[in-house]
C-alpha cells in the first residue's frame, strides 16, 4: 500500500491524524463527518484560515511550526472575539514530493498545540496539491449565546487597548527574508514572533466582560483599528508613542525609522485590539493582568467617520500609502 | 486598489462573496468569525473536503462547475449521514494568474447551488496559491441529536441499497481524459455526472428512519461498502447484476468489459450506499420513492469479517487489485 515507499491516504490518517482525534464528536476519524453540540447557553463560533507554501510560509520552515501557526492564527481569531476553542477540521493539500517525515513533524506540531490549548481534531481531508503545500484549518469555538465581541460596538470616548507588543512579526518576516542584518540584536525574538503567534485566549472572558468591540490584529494595527471604526460607524486616534514594542523592535526602529511603518501596518501580530468604555478601562486592565495578558492603552474612539488618525511622537498625524496589509496581494515570502 | 487591474482581497469579498452570505450568523462577512446554533434537539454536523486544480479538476473546467462540485461533494457527505445542510465556509487559494472573470463565475456557481439547496456562505478566506487553485469547503449541517447515520450500524441480514446509478462519474472522467472515444453514445451524460454530482439530500430523513448504516460513495462502491463492513464488524456480498447503471454506462461496459472494474471501484459517484434491516426494506423503498430518490437492492450484509464479496453475473466472486479508489495517490487528471 505504498507509492515510492510513502504511505497512502488511509495510512496517513491512521498513523498521523487518528491519534489527534479525541472522543466524542470526531468518531476517531472512522466516519465521514464529525458532530458537535454547543454546551447549554452557548453558540458555536466558526472561522477558516489558510496558509500556502511560498505565500504564507517558506518551503524549508519546520513542519511543526507551520502546523502551530496554521492552528494558532485561527485560535487568535476566536480569542479576539471572546470565544473559547472547541476543535478544528484540517484540509491538508500536500505538494507532490511530500515526505512522511514532514507529515510526522506536522502532526507533532498539531499534537503539541492541541495539548496546550485543550482542543481536538474533529475531521479532515488529505489530498495532493498541484503546487506547494496548502494548510486550511476551520476552527470551531464557543461563546455564551449573544456574547460574541463584534467589530461593530465601539463608541466615541472608548479607550483603545492592545495586548502584548506590536510589530515583532512584521519585522521578523523581514529578518527571515534577510532584509535586515541577521545579527540585529533580538533577531531571534522577532523571527520567533513571526513564526509562532501566541493567541491571547486567556483574554477571551475579559473581553466578553468589558470590550465594546475587538478583533485580532492580522492585517496590521492601523488597518484593523480602521475595520473596527468602519463597522462601528466611528473614527479614532492611535498615538505611536503609546504602541507597545519589544526591546528588539524598539532598537530596530531607532536605527531604521522607516521600519515604524511596518510596525504599524505590517500585520501578522495576532495580538488583540479592543475598545473599552472609559468607565470600565481600569477594571479591564485589572482583569487582563489577573489573566496574565499585558494590555496597553494606545488611543481612543471618536465620533465621526473615515480612517483613524495616527499621531507620531510629536503629536503630528502620520500618512500611510496603504493603511492595511492585504494578505492577498502581498508576497511576503518572495 | 488593484494589481494589474485586478481587485484586491477586500474588493473580491465585497463584490463576489458578501452577496452569498445571508443573515444571521455570517454577519455579512463584516466580522472575523461566524456564529451558528443548532435548532432545539439538533446537533451540528461538520465536514471538510478539498478540490485541487490538476488533481481533482482540470484547469479549463468552467468555474461555475468547480464551485458546484466543491460544494456538492460536501453536501453529499451530509446526505449520506442523514443530515441537512445549514451553511458552509470557503477557503479559496487562487493561482497567481487568476482572473476576475473566473472568480465571478465561481461565485455564480456557488450562488446557484445555495439557492437550490437552501444554504448560505458563513465565512471564508481568500488567498493566493503558489501552484494551482485550491478550493476547500467546510460544510455545516444538522441532524436530530443522536440520529446521525453511522458507518458502524450494519448487521448480518441487512439489505444493501444504493441510490441512482453507479459508475457514470468514473467513466465520465475517462471520457474527459479522452481514454474513450468522445463520440461514445451518452458521453455527455457520463461527463456531466463526473463534473456535477447530485447530493441525495432528499433521502436524508429516510435514512434516519430506516438505515442501520450509510455513507456517500466517493471512494468507489466496493471500497465504500468495505468501509461500512469494517466499522460494523461484518462482511457482505454485492451482486454485480443488481448494481444500477445508466444506459450509457451499460453500453460502454458491454463493448469494453474491462470498464466494469471502474464502475465498481472508480469512485466519485456521490450516490448513497445504505444498509437497511430486512424488515424495513420495503418501507425504505416506499419512502425513498416518495422522496423522489431511486434506490436499488444490490446485496446483503453477512456475519464475519474481511472485505465484501462481489459476485459477477454468473455468481462467481470477482477479485480486484485494489478495492478502493485512493484520492490521495491517484492522478485522475494527469
> What is the predicted ipTM?
0.92
Measure B172 CA to nearest chain A CA, in Å.
21
- Going by the DSSP 8-state scheme, the letter that residue A317 receives in this structure is B
Does the distance separating the beta carbons of A123 and B8 come in below 8 Å? Answer: no
- How many C-beta neighbours within 10 Å does residue B183 have? 6
Beta strands in chain A (DSSP E): 2-3, 6-7, 34-36, 42-52, 84-94, 120-128, 134-144, 159-163, 213-216, 235-239, 272-276, 295-302, 309-311
In which residue ranges of chain B is pLDDT below 70? 1-4, 321-334
Q: Let me know: does A196 contact A73? Beta carbons within 8 Å.
A: no
In chain A, which residues have their Cβ closer than 8 Å to the Cβ of B54? 130
| Residue B120 at interface with chain A, using a CB cutoff of 8 Å | no
pLDDT tens-digit series, residues A68-110: 999 999 999 999 999 999 999 999 999 999 999 999 999 999 9
Query: For residue A2, is pLDDT > 70?
Result: no
Residue to mutate among B43, B81, B125, with most A CBs inside 10 A, is B125
Q: Which three cell numbers mark A308?
A: 483613524
User: Which of B198, B40, B13 has its CA nearest to residue B121?
Assistant: B13
Distance CA B251, CA B37 (A): 49
Here the contacts of A54-59 (C-beta below 8 Å, separation 24 or greater) are A54/A131, A54/A132, A54/A333, A54/A334, A54/B130, A55/A132, A55/A331, A55/A332, A55/A333, A55/B93, A55/B127, A55/B128, A55/B129, A55/B130, A56/A327, A56/A332, A56/A333, A56/B127, A57/A333, A58/A176, A58/A333, A59/A132
Q: What is the pLDDT of residue A321?
A: 63
Q: What is the pLDDT of residue B226?
A: 96
Using CB atoms within 10 A of its CB, is residue B96 exposed (0-12), middle (13-18) or buried (19+)?
middle
pLDDT tens-digit series, residues B258-303: 899 999 999 999 999 999 999 999 999 999 999 999 999 999 999 9
CA-to-CA separations, B289 to A146, B159, B204, B247, B295, in angstroms, rounded: 42, 17, 13, 21, 8
Q: DSSP states of A185-209 as a string?
A: TTHHHHHHHHHS----GGGHHHHHH
Distance CA A276, CA A254 (A): 31
- Going by the DSSP 8-state scheme, the letter that residue A216 receives in this structure is E
- On average, the pLDDT of chain A sits at 92
- What percent of chain A is modeled with pLDDT above 70? 94
Does the distance separating the beta carbons of A328 and B9 come in below 8 Å? Answer: yes
Query: For residue A268, is pLDDT > 50?
Result: yes
Q: What is the pLDDT of residue A322?
A: 59
Measure A183 CA to nearest chain B CA, in Å.
30
Measure B116 CA to nearest chain A CA, in Å.
22
Q: What is the pLDDT of residue B334?
A: 33
Query: For residue A333, is pLDDT > 90?
Result: no
In chain B, which residues have their Cβ closer than 8 Å to the Cβ of A9? 326-329
Measure B248 CA to nearest chain A CA, in Å.
30
Does the distance separating the beta carbons of B132 and A130 come in below 8 Å? Answer: yes
Task: Provide CB contacts within 8 A for B254, sequence distance 6+.
Answer: none
Q: With cut-offs at 50, 70 and 90, classify the pLDDT of residue A3.
A: low
pLDDT tens-digit series, residues A29-78: 999 999 999 999 999 999 999 999 999 999 999 999 999 999 999 999 99
Q: DSSP states of B238-288 as a string?
A: EEGGGS---HHHHHHHHH-GGGHHHHHH------EEEEE-GGGHHHHHHHH
Option in B80, B93, B329 nearest A9 (CB): B329
Chain A residue with the nearest C-alpha to that of B6 = A329
The interface residues of chain B toward chain A in range 228-267, judged by CB-CB distance below 8 A, are 231
pTM, whole model, 2 decimals? 0.93
Q: What is the pLDDT of residue A4?
A: 61
In chain B, which residues have their Cβ closer than 8 Å to the Cβ of A38? 37-38
| Residue B45 at interface with chain A, using a CB cutoff of 8 Å | yes
| Residue A176 at interface with chain B, using a CB cutoff of 8 Å | no
Region A315-329 average pLDDT: 66
| Residue A26 at interface with chain B, using a CB cutoff of 8 Å | no
Does the distance separating the beta carbons of A80 and B151 come in below 8 Å? Answer: no
Does the distance separating the beta carbons of B91 and A136 come in below 8 Å? Answer: yes
Amino acid at each position: 500500500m505504498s507509492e515510492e515507499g510513502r504511505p497512502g491516504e488511509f495510512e496517513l490518517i491512521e498513523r498521523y491524524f487518528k491519534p489527534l482525534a479525541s472522543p466524542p464528536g470526531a468518531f476517531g476519524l472512522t466516519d465521514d463527518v464529525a458532530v458537535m453540540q454547543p454546551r447549554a447557553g452557548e453558540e458555536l463560533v466558526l472561522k477558516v484560515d489558510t496558509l500556502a507554501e511560498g505565500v504564507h510560509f517558506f518551503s524549508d520552515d519546520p513542519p511543526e511550526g507551520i502546523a502551530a501557526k496554521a492552528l494558532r492564527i485561527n485560535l487568535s481569531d476566536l480569542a479576539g472575539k471572546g470565544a473559547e476553542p472547541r476543535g478544528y477540521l484540517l484540509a491538508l493539500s500536500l505538494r507532490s514530493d511530500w515526505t512522511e517525515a514532514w507529515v510526522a513533524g506536522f502532526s507533532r506540531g498539531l499534537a503539541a498545540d492541541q495539548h496546550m490549548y485543550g482542543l481536538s481534531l474533529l475531521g479532515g481531508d488529505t489530498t495532493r496539491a498541484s503546487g506547494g503545500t496548502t494548510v486550511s484549518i476551520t476552527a470551531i469555538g464557543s461563546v455564551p449565546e449573544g456574547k460574541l465581541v463584534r467589530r461593530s460596538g465601539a463608541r466615541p470616548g472608548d479607550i483603545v487597548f492592545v495586548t502584548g507588543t506590536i510589530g515583532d512579526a512584521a519585522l521578523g518576516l523581514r529578518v527571515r527574508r534577510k532584509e535586515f542584518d541577521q545579527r540585529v540584536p533580538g533577531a531571534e525574538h522577532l523571527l520567533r514572533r513571526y513564526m509562532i503567534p501566541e493567541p491571547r485566549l486567556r483574554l477571551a472572558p475579559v473581553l466578553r466582560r468589558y470590550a465594546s468591540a475587538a478583533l485580532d490584529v492580522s492585517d496590521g494595527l492601523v488597518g484593523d483599528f480602521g475595520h473596527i471604526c468602519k463597522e462601528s460607524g466611528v473614527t479614532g486616534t492611535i498615538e505611536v508613542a503609546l504602541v507597545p514594542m519589544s526591546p528588539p523592535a524598539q532598537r530596530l526602529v531607532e536605527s531604521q525609522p522607516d521600519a515604524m511603518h511596518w510596525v504599524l501596518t505590517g500585520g501578522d501580530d495576532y495580538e488583540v485590539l479592543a475598545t473599552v468604555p472609559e468607565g470600565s478601562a481600569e477594571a479591564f486592565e485589572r482583569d487582563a493582568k489577573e489573566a496574565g495578558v499585558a494590555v496597553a492603552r494606545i488611543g481612543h474612539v471618536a465620533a465621526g467617520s473615515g480612517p483613524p488618525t495616527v499621531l507620531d511622537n510629536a503629536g503630528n498625524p502620520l500618512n500611510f500609502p496603504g493603511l492595511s496589509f492585504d494578505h492577498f496581494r502581498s508576497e511576503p515570502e518572495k
